């Protein structure tokens, strides 16, 4: 059977993976068993995707990223170079905790910067933006901008990746898309017209 995705000759793809059309898997990456990789994903060099990981459509994974069992990335997620997910809260070499893997859901449109770490068991809301080097230790609301170690919220981002500036009425406009957003009750939502 002819496959309808690209994998560099140095990539390793274990049996039991489901890889959709248009996926690109680059040099020295390892796709482990029982992964599900959605249409149009681009998996950079030296990426490890552990068993059972699920990637939606159009997920972009830069070089040297580790995605461990328990992680789900929805559509249009961007994972920056050398960022990493964890899957055990209290790892010890001599203690087997495979039955204790915590889950992390990365919602649609999220961007995670280079060298960021996402501590397991914390979900990242739609279109949130995690800055380079951030260490996320709690849930991240939709559209939130999180930076630092430990990561803390410093603002809100548009779906196009611009920091939003809200007026006194709690309204903001993305400078690129001109889409409007409303801040109310500590949450941001795009205004649909």
The number of domains in the chain is 2
| Average pLDDT, rounded, for the chain | 96
Count of Cβ atoms closer than 10 Å to residue 186 Cβ: 8
Same domain, 145 and 171: no
Global confidence as pTM: 0.95
Confidence band, pLDDT 50/70/90 cuts, at residue 97: very high
List the domain range (segments joined by +) for residue 169: 165-193
Same domain, 135 and 169: no
Confidence band, pLDDT 50/70/90 cuts, at residue 2: low
Same domain, 112 and 189: no
Same domain, 78 and 31: yes
What is the CATH classification number for the domain harbouring 152? 2.160.10.10
Q: Please, are residues 133 and 146 in contact by the beta-carbon 8 Å criterion?
A: no
Same domain, 138 and 171: no
């Amino acid at each position: 059977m002819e496959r309808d995705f690209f994998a560099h000759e140095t990539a390793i793809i274990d049996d039991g993976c489901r890889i959709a059309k248009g996926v690109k898997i680059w040099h020295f990456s390892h796709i482990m068993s029982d992964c599900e990789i959605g249409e149009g994903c681009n998996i950079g060099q030296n990426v490890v995707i552990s068993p059972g990981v699920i990637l939606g459509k159009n997920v972009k994974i830069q070089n040297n990223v580790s995605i461990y069992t328990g992680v789900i990335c929805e559509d249009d997620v961007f994972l920056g170079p050398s960022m990493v997910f964890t899957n055990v809260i209290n790892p010890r070499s001599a203690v087997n905790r495979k039955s204790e893997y915590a889950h992390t859901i990365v919602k649609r449109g999220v961007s995670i910067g280079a060298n960021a770490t996402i501590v397991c068991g914390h979900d990242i809301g739609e279109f949130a933006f995690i800055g380079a080097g951030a260490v996320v230790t709690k849930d991240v609301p939709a559209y939130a901008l999180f930076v630092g170690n430990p990561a803390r919220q410093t603002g809100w981002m548009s779906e196009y990746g611009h920091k939003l500036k809200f007026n006194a009425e709690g309204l903001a406009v993305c400078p690129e898309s001109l889409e409007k957003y409303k801040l109310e009750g500590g949450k941001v939502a795009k205004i649909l017209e």
